[in-house]
Amino acid sequence: MEIPPPLVLKRPLFVPIKTLMGPGPSNCSQRVLSALSNPVIGHLHSECLQIMNEIKEGIKYIFQTSNDATMCISGSGHSGLEAALCNLIEEGDVVLVACIGLWGHRAADIAKRYGGDVRLVETTLGHSLTINEIELAFKYNQPKIFFTVQGDSSTGVLQSNLKDIGKICRRYNCLFIVDTIASLGGTDFFMDEWFVDVAFTGSQKTLGAPPGLTPISLNMRAIDCINARKTKVKVYYFDILLIGQYWNCFNMPTIYHHTISATLLYGLREALAQVCAEGLKAFIQRHQQCSYRLQQGLKDLGLEMFVKNANERLPTITTIKVPFGIDWRKVIEYAMRKYSMEISGGLGPTVGNVFRIGLMGENATLERADLILNIFREAIESSKLDNNEKSKI
Amino acid sequence: MEIPPPLVLKRPLFVPIKTLMGPGPSNCSQRVLSALSNPVIGHLHSECLQIMNEIKEGIKYIFQTSNDATMCISGSGHSGLEAALCNLIEEGDVVLVACIGLWGHRAADIAKRYGGDVRLVETTLGHSLTINEIELAFKYNQPKIFFTVQGDSSTGVLQSNLKDIGKICRRYNCLFIVDTIASLGGTDFFMDEWFVDVAFTGSQKTLGAPPGLTPISLNMRAIDCINARKTKVKVYYFDILLIGQYWNCFNMPTIYHHTISATLLYGLREALAQVCAEGLKAFIQRHQQCSYRLQQGLKDLGLEMFVKNANERLPTITTIKVPFGIDWRKVIEYAMRKYSMEISGGLGPTVGNVFRIGLMGENATLERADLILNIFREAIESSKLDNNEKSKI
pLDDT at position B386 is: 75
pLDDT at position A25 is: 98
Cβ contact A214:A75 at 8 Å? yes
Cβ contact A70:A201 at 8 Å? no
Chain B residue numbers with beta carbons less than 8 Å from the beta carbon of A258 are 75-79
Radius of gyration in angstroms for the set of CA atoms belonging to chain B, rounded to a whole number = 22
Cβ contact A85:A110 at 8 Å? yes
* Interatomic CA distance for residues B283 and B273, integer angstroms: 12
| Residue type (1 letter), B273 | A
Residues of chain B with pLDDT under 70: 392-393
Which residues have C-beta within 8 Å of that of residue A389, sequence separation ≥ 6?
none
Tell me what the mean pLDDT of segment A230-259 comes to: 97
Chains A, B: CB contacts within 8 A come to 302
Tell me what the mean pLDDT of segment A281-310 comes to: 98
Which residues have C-beta within 8 Å of that of residue B37, sequence separation ≥ 6?
A33, A34, A36, A37
C-alpha closest to that of B342 among B305, B314, B315, B368: B368
Cα-to-chain-centroid distance, residue A142 = 28
pLDDT at A136 over 90: yes
End-to-end CA distance of chain A: give it in Å, rounded: 57
pLDDT-above-70 percentage for chain A: 99
pLDDT at position A1 is: 74
Asked if A278 reaches chain B (Cβ–Cβ under 8 Å), the answer is: no
CB-neighbour burial class of residue A122 (10 A; exposed 0-12, middle 13-18, buried 19+): middle
Asked if B283 reaches chain A (Cβ–Cβ under 8 Å), the answer is: no
* Interatomic CA distance for residues A281 and B362, integer angstroms: 45
Among B6, B237, B260, select the one facing A82 at the smallest CB separation. Answer: B237
Q: What is the DSSP letter of B305?
A: B
pLDDT at A82 over 90: yes
Cβ contact B39:A28 at 8 Å? yes
Chain B residue numbers with beta carbons less than 8 Å from the beta carbon of A16 are 41, 45, 47
The response to whether A377 counts as a known ligand-binding position is no
pLDDT confidence tier of residue A393, bands split at 50, 70 and 90: low
* Interatomic CA distance for residues B276 and B297, integer angstroms: 30
Contact A2 B64 (CB under 8 A): yes
Check the CA dihedral B289-B294-B300-B302 and report its sign: negative
pLDDT at A168 over 80: yes
Q: What distance in Å separates residue A14's CA from the closest CA in chain B? A: 8
DSSP A231-264: S--S-GGG-HHHHHHHTT-SSS-----S---HHH
Asked if A310 reaches chain B (Cβ–Cβ under 8 Å), the answer is: no
User: Which domains, from first to last, does chain A contain?
Assistant: 30-276 (3.40.640.10), 280-392 (3.90.1150.10)
Best probe of the A interface among B37, B103, B284, by most A CBs < 10 A, is B37
pLDDT confidence tier of residue A280, bands split at 50, 70 and 90: very high
Tell me what the mean pLDDT of segment A65-89 comes to: 98
pLDDT at position A388 is: 76
**H or E element at residue A374:** helix A366-392
pLDDT at position A384 is: 87
Asked if B18 reaches chain A (Cβ–Cβ under 8 Å), the answer is: yes
Asked if A270 reaches chain B (Cβ–Cβ under 8 Å), the answer is: yes
ipTM: 0.97
* Interatomic CA distance for residues A148 and A185, integer angstroms: 17
Give pLDDT tens digits for B155-204.
Answer: 999 999 999 999 999 999 999 999 999 999 999 999 999 999 999 999 99
Asked if A8 reaches chain B (Cβ–Cβ under 8 Å), the answer is: yes
Q: On the CB side of B170, how many CA atoms lie within 13 Å of its CA?
A: 11
Cβ contact A98:A149 at 8 Å? yes
* Interatomic CA distance for residues A218 and A191, integer angstroms: 10
